[in-house]
Structure 1
């Protein structure tokens, strides 16, 4: 799973501040550049059951744009630079994956115009990504109170201070799915209590009028198996109810940082020996299968789907191969035109160009999935920019840049 490092994007914004205005904050400067964000102070109200993306464009955040610009400073190919500039203008989510990155929420809330929606990923649970190594988090199992007070509470405060900005939140990718399929692993068993309580706390406290929350539900190759569908739905709705059935939960997110197609007939893994046990051979079928199970238990069950890197299919050796898949390309750009009334939008969640994990088998954070035959090599630590991989995503993009 994706993991970000440092505050390069914020630093880039700071360095771009006009020299004659040293005392003005980044937030003040961004509000000046984007007066629509302050739009007469009109508060936004998002209502579950409606599509928050139908009349709003996913915001192309300045942090990812700055990361791309910094990478392009070392590139001489004019075509790549032009294409990269186009990528920076595509709406994408920002991952708040450390406490140190939380202030970025204030910056991006200020820069988001009133006709756009800001995408943020909530991703810092204690014992995070319990079944992987590449993206383990900063908080240890047992540090739930720190997660609540130092991570969630400041995000809540930032969003409350910007009621005029529409916000879409993806809540803790991989967390609840791991409790469905990997609970026999010691790390996941130990983290289960914090995961459930942490997600419930996030849902309850981020339940603000201008927010649309989507609880992560893995993907069709994970919870789409016949044996996992009902337990997956039950896990999600159970935590939703523990949180008090928050009104601003709109449904689920799928394929976050993933590779599955939206529609692929008969399916990427339809010829494998165990294909009969998974009828969700694409995300469209997965959403259609799990959404009724979720809604039957009283929770809104619309979905947003990550299409950031899923342009090319047939690349993986197995459903579960998640690390820097070789041959991938940027996929369909964010849109609310999905062709499925259960799917609110296709969105870009994983920032293309940032590594999923290192291929260096001697590294502390090395995960064996990053050394598989279908993983791109060499790849740096998770969250670190990999220019060669970014250029591959450009080359294989569909639609092309």
Structure 2
């Protein structure tokens, strides 16, 4: 289950040892107890690192290897029930042996991604339930964090014109998410978090009703910024506002009264102080994705594109803060790398005829394929830096 081959592992250790300074090494020993799991990397990442080393670009090679040897989510979707049960059981066992907690990104909801770049998923609700049952068997009683179905709640069938007048597909979506929560959250060591989009998308008042209808009452909480670029500060504030609004509504308040992320912060904090008195231990918690947010969101050139697709392989982004289970925030359970850094978001045309991405002058790899140029950007523009220096 571990590294692809002995020589690649040796390359990883040797190159990292050359460039990881004492402060970075010391940071690895700060956390005690369970850690987050490091999965096997995309094989293309090792090939890129080897090519970089052969070209004498040792720092870049070490950076790519360090990136893929950082804890990050393991994604599953499209596998058969038998396949996903076997794969998840193997990862869960491997993580358990290392006293580590795996992060699973489950991505198999029917109508996934509005049938766009990451189209696919189960054919229907019955098939999806069978798949979730298999996931539950694979996890068993071992510890796991589940980021359930990115975009499932922030991008409903009704949001992209795929529903009928009765809202049949959207109602089915909520039922599917609820089923997954009710099947996975009761597992002995599993914590399930629901999709809340990101702070540049839905307002708090918009996403909270979706979380409630999606079964947040029975889940550990929600996650924000999956595969996106918003800063840690923006995500933490957004998460706090959502948690607070959920508590306020649970106590009988009106969701429309909750402050959202575009209120002046001082005004929003004053509202929270006056209206939300639930202790953090009894509120819904959240996790955030910091995999590519080191430079924050990309601001497209004004007036250049009819559809800039600022979420799609934006240029010059960097890795964000490293994953941790110790955030210092009583509402934030973890900072994780949900999106696999270095893998493409898909073909980005930005409103042009293509086939090249006009911002990059090249054809972007398909969604989920390794993107060497972007991988290097993430390493070079990482904030905090990928290495502290010797």
Cα deviation code 1:172-191 (max 9, x no counterpart):
11111123xx7253225563
Cα deviation code 1:366-387 (max 9, x no counterpart):
9999977667843111011111
1:398 aligns with 2:383: yes
TM-score (norm. length: structure 1):
0.70
1:145 aligns with 2:134: no
User: What residue is the counterpart of 1:159 in the other structure?
Assistant: 139
Distance 1:152 1:367 in 2: 39
Structure 1 segment 99-248 matched on structure 2, within 5 A: 99-100=79-80, 102=84, 103-112=86-95, 113=97, 115-130=99-114, 133-140=116-123, 143-149=124-130, 151-160=131-140, 163=141, 165-179=142-156, 183-187=158-162, 191-207=169-185, 208-224=187-203, 229-240=204-215, 245-246=217-218
Shift of 1:300: 4.3
Compare CA radii of gyration and give the structure with the larger one.
2
Decide whether aligned partners of structure 1 residues 138 and 371 sit closer, same or farther in structure 2, where only a CA change above 3 A counts: farther
Distance 2:334 2:352 in 1: 31
Distance 2:94 2:106 in 1: 19
Shift of 1:303: 0.8
Decide whether aligned partners of structure 1 residues 346 and 319 sit closer, same or farther in structure 2, where only a CA change above 3 A counts: farther
Count of aligned positions: 314
Cα deviation code 1:278-301 (max 9, x no counterpart):
xxxx21221121111123344842
Q: Which runs of 4+ in 1 moved over 6 A?
A: 366-372
Shift of 1:202: 0.6
Whether the aligned pair in 1 keeps the contact of 2:107 and 2:121 (CA below 8 Å) is no
Distance 1:385 1:316 in 2: 24
Decide whether aligned partners of structure 1 residues 61 and 67 sit closer, same or farther in structure 2, where only a CA change above 3 A counts: farther
Distance 2:328 2:105 in 1: 25
Structure 1 segment 226-375 matched on structure 2, within 5 A: 229-240=204-215, 245-246=217-218, 249-263=219-233, 282-298=234-250, 300-313=283-296, 315-317=298-300, 321-359=310-348
Decide whether aligned partners of structure 1 residues 70 and 294 sit closer, same or farther in structure 2, where only a CA change above 3 A counts: farther
Whether the aligned pair in 2 keeps the contact of 1:58 and 1:117 (CA below 8 Å) is yes
Structure 1 segment 89-104 matched on structure 2, within 5 A: 89-100=69-80, 102=84, 103-104=86-87
Cα deviation code 1:260-284 (max 9, x no counterpart):
0112xxxxxxxxxxxxxxxxxx212
Distance 2:355 2:342 in 1: 15
Distance 1:398 1:285 in 2: 19
Decide whether aligned partners of structure 1 residues 256 and 183 sit closer, same or farther in structure 2, where only a CA change above 3 A counts: same
Distance 1:184 1:345 in 2: 29
Shift of 1:234: 1.3
Cα deviation code 1:31-80 (max 9, x no counterpart):
xxxxxxxxxxxxxxxxxxxxxx9842110112x26452244344323222
TM-score (norm. length: structure 2):
0.72
Decide whether aligned partners of structure 1 residues 236 and 129 sit closer, same or farther in structure 2, where only a CA change above 3 A counts: same
Distance 2:37 2:384 in 1: 19
Shift of 1:336: 3.2
